[in-house]
Structure 1
Amino acid sequence: MAKQYDVIVIGGGPAGTALASGLKAQGKSVLIVESDLWGGTCPNRGCDPKKILLSAVEAKQAATNFQGHGLSGVPTIDWPNLMTTKRGYTDGINDGTLSGLKSQAIDTLHGQAYFRADGELTVDGNLVTGTDIVIATGQRPAILPIPGHEYFKTSTDFLDLDQMPKRVTFVGGGYVGFELATIARAAGAEVHLIHHNDRPLKNFDPELVKALMANLTDQGVTFDLNVDLKQITQAADGLHLTAHDDFELTTDLVVCSAGRIPNADHLGLENVGVTYDRHGIQVNDHLQTAADHIYAIGDVSDTPVPKLTPLAGYEARYLVGELVETGAPISYPVTPTQVYASPKLAEVGVTAAQVATDTTKYRVTTLDMTKWFTYYRLQIPQALAKVVVDQQTGLIVGASCLSEIADEMINYLTILIEKKLSLAAIQKLIVAYPTPASDLQYLY
């Protein structure tokens, strides 16, 4: 007879491992199942390795900015050496994650989870039983279904390239396309980014997106907008990409960066009445699916928040409490999102576009901070921001930033918004000067 667990977690990524650890600490018996790499996308083939590669890009950009301002000579990116550095981190994630789970006496199984027609859960055909089941299987890159789609590579492939090809093309203007295009260009590739309309990064402020694209264009990235790719063919001189209006481009590597899709289509969910679509598995405000005792968290779930690793952990911590003792519906904190391009683009809270029709309630301040001391001392060529203030309270409720330190600034702004800190409260704080934090009082 199969062992009965309190909770079975499907997915050994950031959401699943955080949940399993939290439940084990509460005295629950837990089984966690993973069909691929332990640790999930983020540390193995997502945000962590991407940031390692981007760190070299940032160092090169900082040196470039200081040419003629105290530094001479711009370093070049040694791609094989950088990839060795990346693998020095990622190569240990799978075994390290598994070891960590076992050290907590959490049972593990490597295999494919599937709900049979009778509703029972199996792993590679073997029955497993649990009182509650949590799906935390994440997402995977989408592949456009066009002729020649077999020539597409994904972000996973790009982040593990042994050599940087001479010509690289990205198809899809979301954050992945922008970030990987930034890395490829800095590493010396001839880079094109193809997008099907004229509004890439559609969830970000259009003026700041336009400024970001101008910066990347200056760095040598070519944007091919309003191009709906129709076909990929292979020839002796490379991959030929064709579209309408006689568009044709020859490249050595084509990466599909047209979004991600939930890993929900291989679990037999239809056999247990769990519904999902391209946005993820439908859950209520307790992260419960349509089926009793089956939950979904992290990137695979359809929740009203961005698909981000910190939110996966946040949902895991919530569900630990929920499975121990049912409580209040989940309530999400204000959440920043960012594009790690060059410069970086970040936003949090209410956006300028959302309040454009309600100028009586909100005030939007557009700031060009390029000549502020923080950016002058770093020789950052452009620093822009839009700040949304509630007219009645005087509190900042939203912001968008574009600069090479936008990711740092957006974290400060997130704290201001979440903790409802007024200008008077900020002015009562003494922070280190001169730092980006010492600029906060000038944003209200």
Structure 2
Amino acid sequence: MSDFDYDLFVIGGGSGGVRAARVAAGEAGAKVALAEQDRYGGTCVIRGCVPKKLMVFASEYPGMVEDARAYGWDLNDPEFDWTKFRTKLEAELDRLEGIYRSLLKNAGVTTYDARARLKDAHTVELSTGETFTAKHILIATGGRPVVPDIPGWELAISSNEIFHLKELPKRVLVVGGGYIASEFACILHGLGCAVTQFYRGAQILRGFDDEARGLVADEMQSRGIAIHCGTNILEMERDADGIRVKASNGTEAHFDQVLFAIGRDPNSNDMGLEELGIELGRRGEILVDRYSQTPVPSVYAIGDVTDRVNLTPVAIREGMAFVATVFKGEPTPVDHDLIPSAVFTQPELGTVGLTEEEAREQEAIEVYSTSFKPMQQAFAGRADRVLMKLVVSKATRRVLGCHIVAPQAGEMIQMAGIAVKMGATKEDFDRTVAVHPTMAEELVTTRAPVRSA
């Protein structure tokens, strides 16, 4: 008979926490509980990847209609019904949340719809007043959008609210230059909004390959998105013409909606962590070792609350590694190396491995890169360009990085990511016969480097 109420108590019902709870209960036979104060599914399912990608799909149809006409299809002028789309979207999110709840129930996990905090190293206290003891506690509380401290901040929305707008605004200001801000700038533009994007830095998508992010920015602007770099908001106020925004570049303009996407902070506040000796980083991230363990041996943390690699599949992998380590007797460090990712702008950006800038700081490299008009869009009369790029080590010939800017770049980088993770060389790519005619064939047909560094 255990001295604890549970073998594992998970705090947070997002992708990482739910996976860890399910596997610990269903595969390892542990007695597991999970507490979630909001909706099950977390950021990804409820207010992130899933609804965002559905909005991406919706926003791409106007371009498809234009291309269809160029290909000889006689189509009427389309109209987008935001209310119809939003209603269906919300129903889909309800369905997915129900699936998450069912998965936990079927695995034998006890769930509590409440906020949880740590009372001591083995005790969880719920907002209902209940307390439970657990041999192990896993914190998987994710993150939340950052809200700036400026006059009028309450007039804006964050990525949490964007999916539930009662009506689609005609004029939108997106503030931020990361992937979330850039994706929503493209989405809203595709849905028919006039979009302006402010970013305080020199170029959007900081941290991505310079050549790739430069092309994405150029394509966004050529499609009609007004990007203003080196620009931030000083203050906002509402008047008869909407939200009046005063910018750091000396301009003022009116918008119907302002969306802040300037970063995310870990959800670690008021959880009793520091009182237990669990150290938090500068932004509130829980500091853990490579096994996701805190300095308190019974307490672990995974996902965005640790601010390591803030991606849903990474949180799921971290949850699986935690269960293997703690409940299966298989110590499994988390592998954060060579993680493929995609930015669902228009065009998409897919990336795995080192950027050209990172690689040249590390060793001597060759860069194989080509940018061109893809056949499908060129025939339709569009000036869109795509990029296929490999960053290669001169010494080992290994492909250190692969960067793709193109429609469906996310799908392509998933496949390329396997080769890069396996340690493929440029000659391995060269030996692969091209699939013709495709955009991605350029990854295996480019023979001469465009530059060395």
SS at match of 2:54: helix
Matched with 2:451 is none
Aligned mates of 1:221, 1:376 — CA distance in 2: 21
1:307 aligns to 2:307 (yes or no): no
Over 3 Å counting, the alpha-carbon distance change for 1:154 and 1:399 in structure 2 is same
Matched with 1:204 is 208
* Equivalent residue for 2:56, pick from 54, 57, 61: 54
User: How many angstroms does 1:438 deviate by?
Assistant: 4.9
Aligned mates of 2:361, 2:336 — CA distance in 1: 26
SS at match of 1:121: strand
User: How many angstroms does 1:401 deviate by?
Assistant: 1.5
Matched with 1:252 is 256
Over 3 Å counting, the alpha-carbon distance change for 1:165 and 1:405 in structure 2 is same
Q: Deviations over 1:227-275 (max 9, x none)?
A: 2211111112111111334321211111111111100013121221112
SS at match of 1:8: strand
Over 3 Å counting, the alpha-carbon distance change for 1:435 and 1:220 in structure 2 is closer
Aligned mates of 1:182, 1:336 — CA distance in 2: 21
Aligned mates of 2:431, 2:367 — CA distance in 1: 24
Matched with 1:34 is 36
Report if the CA contact (8 A) 1:345-1:406 is conserved. yes
SS at match of 1:82: helix
Matched with 1:343 is 347
1:317 aligns to 2:317 (yes or no): no
SS at match of 1:202: coil
Over 3 Å counting, the alpha-carbon distance change for 1:109 and 1:169 in structure 2 is same
Aligned mates of 1:300, 1:246 — CA distance in 2: 37
Matched with 1:154 is 158
Task: Give 1:321's aligned amino acid.
Answer: A
Report if the CA contact (8 A) 1:77-1:186 is conserved. no
SS at match of 1:182: helix
SS at match of 2:359: coil
Alignment: residue pair count: 440
* Equivalent residue for 1:80, pick from 65, 80, 83: 83
SS at match of 1:37: coil
Aligned mates of 2:79, 2:404 — CA distance in 1: 28
1:164-203 aligned at under 5 Å gives the runs 164-203=168-207
Bigger Cα displacement from structure 2, 89-98 vs 22-31: 89-98
Matched with 1:233 is 237
Aligned mates of 1:409, 1:150 — CA distance in 2: 40
User: How many angstroms does 1:395 deviate by?
Assistant: 2.8
Q: Unaligned stretches of 5+ in structure 2?
A: 448-453
User: How many angstroms does 1:396 deviate by?
Assistant: 1.7
Matched with 1:18 is 19
Aligned mates of 1:2, 1:126 — CA distance in 2: 17
SS at match of 1:214: helix
Task: Give 2:58's aligned amino acid.
Answer: A
Report if the CA contact (8 A) 1:412-1:437 is conserved. no
Aligned mates of 2:24, 2:211 — CA distance in 1: 45
Aligned mates of 1:207, 1:90 — CA distance in 2: 36
Over 3 Å counting, the alpha-carbon distance change for 1:328 and 1:311 in structure 2 is closer
Aligned mates of 1:62, 1:392 — CA distance in 2: 44
Over 3 Å counting, the alpha-carbon distance change for 1:374 and 1:167 in structure 2 is closer
Q: Percent identity among equivalent residues? A: 29
Q: Deviations over 1:395-432 (max 9, x none)?
A: 32202221112112211221110122346655776786
Task: Give 2:286's aligned amino acid.
Answer: I
Matched with 1:410 is 413
Aligned mates of 2:339, 2:284 — CA distance in 1: 19
Aligned mates of 1:414, 1:191 — CA distance in 2: 33
Report if the CA contact (8 A) 2:175-2:232 is conserved. no
1:297 aligns to 2:302 (yes or no): yes
Over 3 Å counting, the alpha-carbon distance change for 1:440 and 1:213 in structure 2 is closer
- Tell me the TM-score normalised to structure 1 length: 0.91
Over 3 Å counting, the alpha-carbon distance change for 1:343 and 1:15 in structure 2 is same
Matched with 2:224 is 220
1:116 aligns to 2:119 (yes or no): yes
Over 3 Å counting, the alpha-carbon distance change for 1:103 and 1:245 in structure 2 is closer
* Equivalent residue for 1:399, pick from 379, 397, 402: 402
Task: Give 1:262's aligned amino acid.
Answer: P
Report if the CA contact (8 A) 1:348-1:414 is conserved. yes
Q: Deviations over 1:310-366 (max 9, x none)?
A: 10111111111111225253333411222211111222101111123566x321112
Matched with 2:450 is none
Report if the CA contact (8 A) 1:143-1:152 is conserved. no
Report if the CA contact (8 A) 2:7-2:136 is conserved. yes
User: How many angstroms does 1:143 deviate by?
Assistant: 0.3
Aligned mates of 1:322, 1:432 — CA distance in 2: 42
Over 3 Å counting, the alpha-carbon distance change for 1:152 and 1:215 in structure 2 is same
Q: Deviations over 1:113-153 (max 9, x none)?
A: 11237974201131111001000000111101111111121
User: How many angstroms does 1:31 deviate by?
Assistant: 0.6
Aligned mates of 2:248, 2:392 — CA distance in 1: 44
User: How many angstroms does 1:155 deviate by?
Assistant: 0.8
